[in-house]
Amino acid sequence: MIFTTKKYYWTREEEAKLLELFKGGLTDPKDLAKKFPNRTVGAIEKKLERLGVVVVQKSPKTRTTTSVPLGKDLLTHEQALKVLAGALEALRKSGQAKLGLQRLRILVDAVHTYDSVLEKFEMDGD
């Protein structure tokens, strides 16, 4: 594969044609790139952005949340503290991947919140 650093500047005619097509309903950069054989999809997106046209990206149909099964029993304060201690110990080790560190920090926050809620729950039950 040969890479070229030569820039091909947009002509006013190309810009006008791009805007005309976009305003006419052809809004997908992939489809627009077919009308401009010397332009990449990325070049089309950049030009639309520079022209002040908002390009709405279609988001993939993935879920960002996961379902969590409900626990049958509440953790005791001691069990919550053990989970917290394990997470803190793991955080102290070097060589953790970024995602692993983020998960451990979330776990620490979750256990802290859980213990606080558990304490209020127990006080209301008395």
Pick the closest to residue 37 from 8, 3, 12 (CA basis): 8
Q: Provide mean pLDDT across the span 92-120.
A: 81
Residue 62 included in any domain: no
Residue 43 included in any domain: yes
Q: What is the pLDDT of residue 14?
A: 92
Name the residue with tokens 């919550």. 80
Range scoring the smallest mean pLDDT among 11-20, 29-38, 57-66, 67-76: 57-66
Domains held by the chain: number: 2
Ranges 33-42, 85-94, 102-111, most confident: 33-42
What is the sign of the dihedral through the CA atoms of 9, 25, 52 and 56? negative
Average pLDDT, the chain: 80
Residue 71 included in any domain: no
Instruction: Please report, for residues 31, 40, 70, 71, 73, the alpha-carbon distance to residue 116 in angstroms, rounded to integers and kept in the order given.
Output: 54, 54, 19, 17, 17
Do 20 and 9 contact (CB within 8 A), yes or no? no
Q: What is the pLDDT of residue 7?
A: 67
Pair of tokens at residue 4: 């070229």
At 59, is the pLDDT very low, low, confident or very high (cuts 50, 70, 90)?
low
Residue 40 included in any domain: yes
81 plus 45 within the same structural domain: no
* Better pLDDT: 17 or 65: 17
| Domain interval for residue 34 | 12-50
Q: Provide mean pLDDT across the span 62-87.
A: 75
